[in-house]
Structure 1
């Protein structure tokens, strides 16, 4: 991957709907050259997929929380994934180093919905306890 690929990725990250001609104008390549590079980045797995980013608040999911999960004993990451995949409010789940075993990013309509989601999380696996932090504002988010 060279500097032109990095510039193309930066343009696509900023605007995934930008045309190859628009991107080419910024990076100094023709539209077909940009398309070839994007196709190669897709084939190489650098670009995983294209998607629309929807504002959850616009859909009524105005609460975001970070949940530290503490498991009882040892639980395999695959078992946690299986337990949490059916819970649609969990938008991201990661195992972590430190005192918690995992951190979840959760979306909910309101505090009552968040509380219900927390109960579902606690019941989904061998969870000792959780600690929740409600996000007030997101200052930086990078793809």
Structure 2
């Protein structure tokens, strides 16, 4: 578990990973070296797994976004699903879920035809029994990190 200062540091970095330790320290009430020590510790313990950039998918040519529900053949393991999906560059996330579907896959595609081709390829995977897809019209809210539970 992270303490309050660690959480505030993580949220500051999630909002902008290029912020300086001094800037973060000023907002959380610590010196730059103290922030650096905490960030180093958070990386060592695995609470922070890396630093990245967030890019608008449209800037990379991804104009279409959709979610595909996967309904898998009996006895398909999550590892088999992951292995089957990891080679698709269009898939930005895949998760097992509760409910009727076995997994949900988030896909970015260049256009509708490209999305359809990806959907057809995924539906053709040996472990997939059927799919159900939904196209995203307008993302309303995307957060990098959620507020921690109280």
Q: TM-score of the superposition, structure 1-length normalised?
A: 0.95
Could you tell me which residue of structure 2 aligns to residue 78 of structure 1? 79
Which consecutive residues of structure 1, in runs of 5 or more, have no partner in the other structure?
none
The root-mean-square deviation of aligned C-alpha atoms, in Å, is 1.0
Which consecutive residues of structure 2, in runs of 5 or more, have no partner in the other structure?
145-150
Instruction: Give the C-alpha shift of residue 97 in structure 1.
Output: 1.2
SS at match of 2:67: strand
SS at match of 2:70: strand
Rounded Cα–Cα distance in structure 2 between residues aligned with 1:72 and 1:20: 50
Aligned positions, number: 143
Could you tell me which residue of structure 1 aligns to residue 89 of structure 2? 88
Alpha carbons 1:80, 1:125 under 8 Å: kept: no
Could you tell me which residue of structure 2 aligns to residue 105 of structure 1? 106
Q: TM-score of the superposition, structure 2-length normalised?
A: 0.91
Could you tell me which residue of structure 2 aligns to residue 136 of structure 1? 137
Alpha carbons 2:93, 2:107 under 8 Å: kept: yes
Q: List structure 1 segments (4+ residues) > 3 angstroms apart after TM superposition.
A: none
